[in-house]
Amino acid sequence: MKSYICGIGTANPPNKVPQMQVADFMAAAHQLDEQGSRKLKALYRVSGIGQRYSVLEDFTRQNGDYTFFPNTHDLEPFPTVQQRMEVYRKHALDLSEQAVRNCLDQVSATPLQSLTHLITVSCTGMYAPGLDIELVERLELNPCVRRTAVNFMGCYAAFNAIKLADAICKADPSARVMLVCTEICTIHFQKNPEEDHLVSNALFGDGSAAVLMQGQPCQEVSLELQSFHCDLAPAGKREMAWHIGDTGFEMTLTSYVPDLIKNGIKQLTERLLQGLRTTVSEIKLFAIHPGGRRILEVIEQELGLTRDDNRFAYRVLHEFGNMSSATVLFVLKELMASLTTQEKDEPVLSFAFGPGLTLESMLLKVHYAEAKV
């Protein structure tokens, strides 16, 4: 039995914010002096991010015109968890719907009512009845569609959703699974001046990605699932973490994370490829979660990749920033859009990383329908 990724759709909120404009907002919010402001802006300049998207207009405005943050010099009283969750609920459904419709626009003869399973993924907001039920109602799906929620796993969560969809499709060849990763990261800005928080604020944006998976390839190009491997680096448990505090979700992301990934990525790849008669040197297509510029660079160093090998990840990082679980799906979408029949049967290597420290890997294969070859 096999399973295939047949289409990937994406969506972002309308507020596109240049990276250095976010830096200006953060410098003012942290009330930094001239030296502190210069250091912060240097961090933003080397991030590899050109722009990000946010559901909040405040990042494009001046203090006095804010609609979410208080119009006070210190942004107090700071938004509560409840206020942030209200914003999440207001926007998550629309973004998710846009991503699903964008996905199905690319896959012919797939009506919404034919979907048998729905998997929703998020670590930036929760409520019940949740996003899954609201999507069923908004999209007028079959009310008997089987629903699963993957919550609070962070940037690697899309891999767990894909694994679940893979198991469903292999158990039932008639299954059509829609998985939706929706993350609204920018509502969780924290004023904590520690370096970890400053780094987090420099990376994350908002976005949604939807993937259609099924037991048969689609009419044109698909990605056939080959293998998965997951590993843990417990030494990084405190280096990347995600907790709920009194004023929002608090991300810890230290400068040691790239080194931890560097130390584990070669072994992770060897275990994934073991027994598949494939080596890294034979792989030409990569879809790597751009957790940050430095993470991409250390993977290249360890696996002998070039920046061009990693071009899809760099492009997504520059255009969208890190959108947590949705990001690697944006990268896979870029890769799929670039494929030609010359790449039929080529392997695709994909990675994502998150709290734990969790290292996820996946091997896929490019599939073209015979009529198109």
Say if residue 340's pLDDT is above 60.
Answer: yes
Q: Which pLDDT band, with edges at 50, 70 and 90, does 372 fall under?
A: very low
Q: Which pLDDT band, with edges at 50, 70 and 90, does 212 fall under?
A: very high
Percent of the chain having pLDDT more than 90? Answer: 80
pLDDT of residue 218: 86
Nearest to residue 225, comparing CAs of 364, 368, 369?
Answer: 364
Q: In the predicted model, what is the mean pLDDT of residues 13-36? A: 95
Percent of the chain having pLDDT more than 70? Answer: 99
Catalytic residue list: 155
Any idea which of 15-24, 180-189, 243-252 has the lowest mean pLDDT? 243-252
What stretches of 304-340 show up as alpha helix (H) in DSSP?
311-320, 327-338
Between 373 and 133, the higher pLDDT residue: 133
CB-CB contact of 20 with 202 (8 Å)? no
CB-CB contact of 104 with 7 (8 Å)? yes
Interhelix angle for 257-273 vs 293-303, to 10°?
40
What 8-state DSSP symbol labels residue 59? G
Token pair recorded at residue 44: 């933003």
Q: Could you tell me whether strands 206-214 and 347-354 are parallel, antiparallel, or unpaired per DSSP bridges?
A: unpaired
Angle at 350 between CA 257 and CA 125, to 5 degrees: 65
Cα–Cα distance between 52 and 50 in angstroms, integer?
Answer: 7
Q: 65 exposed, middle or buried (CB, 10 Å; 0-12, 13-18, 19+)?
A: exposed
Q: Which pLDDT band, with edges at 50, 70 and 90, does 373 fall under?
A: very low
Q: Which residue has the tokens 């709920």?
A: 244
End-to-end CA distance of the chain: 23
Q: Which H or E run includes 286?
A: strand 285-288
Cα–Cα distance between 16 and 260 in angstroms, integer?
Answer: 32
Q: In the predicted model, what is the mean pLDDT of residues 75-101? A: 97
Q: Which residues pair with 353 in a beta bridge?
A: 359
| Domain residue ranges of the chain, discontinuous segments joined by + | 221-368
Q: Per residue in 294-339, pLDDT tens?
A: 999 999 999 999 999 999 999 999 999 999 999 999 999 999 999 9
Q: Which fold has domain 221-368?
A: Peroxisomal Thiolase; Chain A, domain 1 (3.40.47)
Any idea which of 115-119, 172-176, 253-257, 320-324 has the lowest mean pLDDT? 253-257
CB-CB contact of 197 with 93 (8 Å)? no
Q: Which pLDDT band, with edges at 50, 70 and 90, does 370 fall under?
A: low
Angle at 321 between CA 318 and CA 326, to 5 degrees: 120
- Tell me the backbone φ, ψ of residue 287, rounded to 5 degrees: -135, 90
Q: Per residue in 231-286, pLDDT tens?
A: 998 888 777 778 888 888 888 777 778 888 988 899 989 989 987 888 999 999 99
Q: Per residue in 56-80, pLDDT tens?
A: 999 999 999 999 999 999 999 999 9
pLDDT of residue 220: 85
pLDDT of residue 246: 87
Task: Report in angstroms the alpha-carbon separations of 217 from 1, 6, 277.
Answer: 12, 6, 23
